Amino acid sequence: MQDNWDPGIAYAELSDVGMRRSNNQDSAACLPAKNAERFGSHGHLFVVADGMGAHAAGELASRIATEKIATHYFRSENPKANHALRNAVAETNAEIHQRGQSNPEFHNMGTTASTLAILPGGAWIAHVGDSRVYRLRRGVLEQLTFDHSLVWELEASGHGDSNAWGPAIPKNVITRSLGPNPSVEIDIEGLFPIEAGDCFLMCSDGLTGQVEDAEIGTLIDCLPEEQAARVLVDLANLRGGPDNITVVIVRVHEASEGVSAPNKRPSREEPPLVSPLLLGGTILCFLIATVLGGLALGGQSQTIGAMVVMLILGAIGAAFSASQYAKNRKATPPRPDVSGGGGPYRTYEAKPTSELYDRLGSTVQALRDAAKERNWKMNWKKVEGFQSKGQQALQAKDAKRAIRCQAEAIIETMNQLREQHNRAASDTAIDY
């Protein structure tokens, strides 16, 4: 009977504007199958999109992506899910492009789009941009998608060494997106076998720019879906929150039978990648645009309290990013021989340790030090209580429970920061 249908998964979705943006250009869609028939034909579908463009263009582009990809996919009668996914994304790209061409305010608007379909035979992914899809299995986190970004293309193409450029390489420049062009190359990854206990994470780069992959894997391994999504978003915000943050977590409780890995597809010749000269010009233009944009925005009014919070979190985030750059750049992703099909591209151990506990705690301590220096009225009793329990868990050699306690401390710290931000904004309004 319909009432007895068990989708075999649990999922959580959370999207946040971040600490420095005025609007959220991310979008997500979570569409689990409502019955066995739908699961058999199309499976569970999840989409994450990160828009870009002036005014409301990016927000519109990402919303069209999540809505239209789902619509086209579920309307498809193609029995092969990977083909249906590719067609759905291609049709959506054409619609976003047409919408951008029809209105000058939306010209060249674009969006990333990562789509995950979980079916009885396994999981397929359609991917454009740098929003990522991961799979956590038995303590190992795998990145299943290739970032269509300047940094990844440089590292993988052999046309340049990112170590020579150093941190000056802009990490948020993407090389592929939906919308700017009438057609787009779409990566199809899979088929990925599924086991009971597998956990998929989909996210925009607002998360991965601030939180390490090993931290991500360990937190989703130690926590239930809702709490894991909350702490990941809060941790990214505590480290500066420079971008919108979207997280979708899908945990598989029951694996489908008959799952098998496909044969490797034949390779084909790739078109030439971007020349080093063009790459250098892109970087230079990006840096100039960033400086000019900052000068243009300098005249906008903001509350004093909000500015202080942003400056503090920006400093914390900058310090964290600098400390992690060398570590992250060592792992060079392989370039897929075909349009996708090469994943997983990176693998990380997701293991609860005392070192990870301390690293997470250092983010809390950095904000606590800033609060003391600024004389913010923040109540740290709950945070201290969670961290005390965490230390007890470490002494009992229960690192997993310790990580859970530290996660609670992070969530409570973010709650305290929100209250401080609201008080500062209220005091400024009264002064006026």
Which alpha helices (H) appear in 170-246, and where do they start and end?
205-208, 213-222, 225-238
pLDDT of residue 309: 56
Q: Provide the pLDDT for residue 280.
A: 47
pLDDT at 54: 81
Residue 130 belongs to domain with CATH number: 3.60.40.10
For residue 380, what are the contacts with CB-CB under 8 A and spacing of at least 6?
A: 368, 416
Q: How far apart are the first and last CA of the chain?
A: 62
Q: What six digits make up the tokens of 168? A: 């000056």
Q: How far is the C-alpha of 42 from the C-alpha of 364, rounded, in Å?
A: 43
Residues of the chain short of pLDDT 70, as ranges, are: 1-3, 159-168, 255-339, 427-432
In a domain, 407, yes or no: no
Q: Which pLDDT score, from 0 to 100, does residue 204 have?
A: 98
Is 417 within 8 Å of 235 (Cβ atoms)? no
**What pLDDT is attached to residue 265?**
36
Count of domains observed in the chain: 1
User: What confidence score (pLDDT) does residue 349 get?
Assistant: 96
Burial (CB count <10 Å: 0-12, 13-18, 19+), residue 236? buried
Token pair listed for 68: 């239209």
Residue 267, Cβ density class (10 Å: 0-12 exposed, 13-18 middle, ≥19 buried): exposed
Q: Residue 62 corresponds to which amino acid?
A: S
Domain with 202, as residue range(s), is 2-252
Asked whether residue 99 is assigned to any structural domain, the reply reads: yes
**pLDDT attached to residue 273:** 38
Tell me 12's DSSP state: E
In this structure, is residue 104 part of a structural domain?
yes
In tens, the pLDDT along 132-166 reads 999 999 999 999 999 999 989 888 877 555 555 55
Decide if 44 is inside a domain: yes
For residue 367, how many other CB atoms are within 10 A of its CB?
24
Model confidence, pTM:
0.83
- Given a contact cutoff of 8 angstroms between Cβ atoms, the answer to whether 219 and 101 are in contact is no
Question: What is the per-residue pLDDT for 278?
Answer: 43
Residue 391 included in any domain: no
Work out the angle between the directed axes of helices 399-431 and 381-395 (0-180°, nearest 10): 170
* Whether the Cβ atoms of residue 104 and residue 111 lie closer than 8 Å to each other: no
- Residue 403 inside a domain? The answer is no
Question: What integer pLDDT is reported at residue 287 of this predicted model?
Answer: 47
The verdict on residue 275 lying in a domain is no
Q: Is residue 298 part of a domain?
A: no
DSSP string, 144-181: -S---BHHHHHHHHSS--HHHHGGGS-TT-BS--BSSS
